[in-house]
Structure 1
Amino acid sequence: MADETAHRALTEDVEDLKAMLQAVQAELRDLREAVPGAAGAAGDGDTTPDGAGEEQEEDVEWQYPPFLFLLEGEQRDAELRLLAEWVEGVLVPGCLTEVSADARWCHRWIEHWDAVGVLHAMWLAWQELTDPATCGHTGPSVWYRDHYRPHVAALRGPGGPFGSCTKGEHRTEHRLPSKVPSAWCATEDEA
């Protein structure tokens, strides 16, 4: 009798777990459908609770994170436009203080490629850390402490990318290194 009761309780537990798994899978499917272009969007067929979805995960090709330097063509242009909107619409008016000799800012920041990389990294962090769904309500504080303050100090300091730019003069040539062969950027001669 005790074995039968234990078996019945175990069966009920398994059924409860199956129902919970199906609910989580349905919620995940709804989230994927809500995000345009999300990997594994609606219709991917991954609703099996028996582990068949693991096989599908192995077939999915790994993609680079959306960091600007890893993008090309139209994708990079679109990301640059979005970055410019954020820098000019959020960062500059809301966060940057008055320009001075010790804290410079170049209105032609997009021509300073090293600054663009830092600003893009800051923007990616800002997107993640200002979303209460992923970070709760402490995300903005973390963004200011870990991303904004150190990066802006480096960007605007005397040794930063804007160090030679003044209100009347813009210089990027002091920052442009010669091309270095690398695995990231193959030249036409190497192809």
Structure 2
Amino acid sequence: MTDTNPTLDGVAEDLADLTATVAGFASQLEHNTQTIDRVSAVVTKLGPGQEQDGKGGKKETPQTPPFILLLTGEKCATELAALDGWVRNLLVPTYLGEVSSSATWCARWWEHPAAVARLHAAWLAWQELTDPETCGRTGPAVWHRDHLDPMLNQLRAPDGPFAGCMTNPDRSQHTLLPIPPVDPLPAGTAF
């Protein structure tokens, strides 16, 4: 006949293992709680947008620029004006060759949200990758390869944002391809 009752030695051993496991979890929880409390105290002390400078003091963390299509009002106008200076003074004279039906450009590029978004992203990357403090010696090459060339290929493609525009940027006529109706943008949106 088989004994179906567990031995007290086996139950006591299982109970001791479970007790040790629970004690380990409790210890880890206490450690994690203390760590979170310390980090929270530092973050509260520093405030948003700041971090320690390694010497116990505060330093400002750089704020990343917002996506230009999300800006409104004065912020959008300021960012667009700065972008316009870069497009007019650097991009167009340096990188845009002959305008043709296979390599379009629109003199009123700011009227095309897809173009504005791509140009803004390329400009932000240009600022970072041409600054010797942030890019090193290869920054400009990286900017050309990873940002400028893909952006221009997309903008100037036969089916890109300027596809419906006249190919001569000096002409006053500007036409856009019709687009399907979409929900209106929120009030105050520049695009």
TM-score normalised by L of structure 2: 0.61
Residue in 2 aligned with 1:68?
Answer: 68
Aligned-partner residue type, residue 71 of structure 2: L
Runs of at least 4 residues off by over 6 Å: 61-64
- Equivalent residue in structure 1 for 2:182, among 152, 156, 179: 179
Give, in whole Å, the separation in 2 of the partners of 1:150 and 1:93: 18
Larger RCO (alpha carbons 8 Å, 6+ apart): 2
**Whole-angstrom distance in 2 between the partners of 1:175 and 1:89:** 31
User: Who is 2:174 aligned against?
Assistant: 170
Displacement of 1:55? 3.0
Q: Does 1:104 align with 2:104?
A: yes
Matched, 1:56 2:59: no
What letter matches 2:75 in structure 1? Q
Residue 113 of structure 2 aligns with an amino acid whose one-letter code is: W
| 8 Å Cα contact 1:64-1:70 kept in structure 2 | no
TM normalised by structure 1 equals: 0.61
Query: Are 1:161 and 1:175, in contact at CA under 8 Å, matched by a contact in 2?
Result: no
Q: 1:157, 1:163 within 8 Å by CA — same for their partners in 2? A: yes
Q: d(CA) in 2 for partners of 1:64 and 1:152? A: 24
- Measured after TM superposition, the shift of residue 178 of structure 1 is 2.5
Mark the CA change 1:114 to 1:131 in structure 2 (over 3 Å): closer, same or farther: same
SS at 1:79 equivalent: helix
Q: What is the SS of the residue equivalent to 2:147?
A: helix
Structure 1, residues 101-141: CA drift from partner, whole Å, max 9, x if none? 11011111111121111111111111111111001121110
Unaligned ranges ≥5, structure 2: 1-37, 51-62
Q: Secondary structure at the match of 2:98?
A: coil
Matching residue's letter, 1:85: G
Structure 1 unaligned residues grouped into runs of 5+ = 1-49
Aligned-residue sequence identity (percent) comes to: 49
Amino acid at match of 2:73: G
- Aligned partners of 1:129 and 1:140 also within 8 Å: yes
CA distance in 1, matches of 2:65, 2:108: 26
Name the residue aligned to 1:30. none
- Give, as a single letter, the amino acid of the residue that structure 1 aligns with 2:88: E
How far does the alpha carbon of each residue in 1:2-53 deviate from its partner, in whole angstroms, 9 at most, with x for none?
xxxxxxxxxxxxxxxxxxxxxxxxxxxxxxxxxxxxxxxxxxxxxxxx9865
CA–CA distance in structure 1, aligned partners of residues 110 and 124 of structure 2 = 16
Count of matched residue positions in the alignment of Structure 1 and Structure 2? 134
Would the aligned equivalents of 2:69 and 2:113 in 1 still touch at CA under 8 Å? Answer: no
- Greater CA radius of gyration, 1 or 2? 2
Q: Which amino acid aligns with 2:174?
A: H
Q: How far apart, CA to CA, are the structure 1 residues paired with 2:110 and 2:159? A: 18
Give the equivalent residue in structure 1 for 2:157.
Answer: 157
Are residues 186 and 126 of structure 1, via their aligned partners in 2, closer, same or farther at CA, if it must alter by over 3 Å?
Answer: same
Shift of 1:64: 6.7
How far apart are the structure 2 equivalents of 1:180 and 1:143? 35
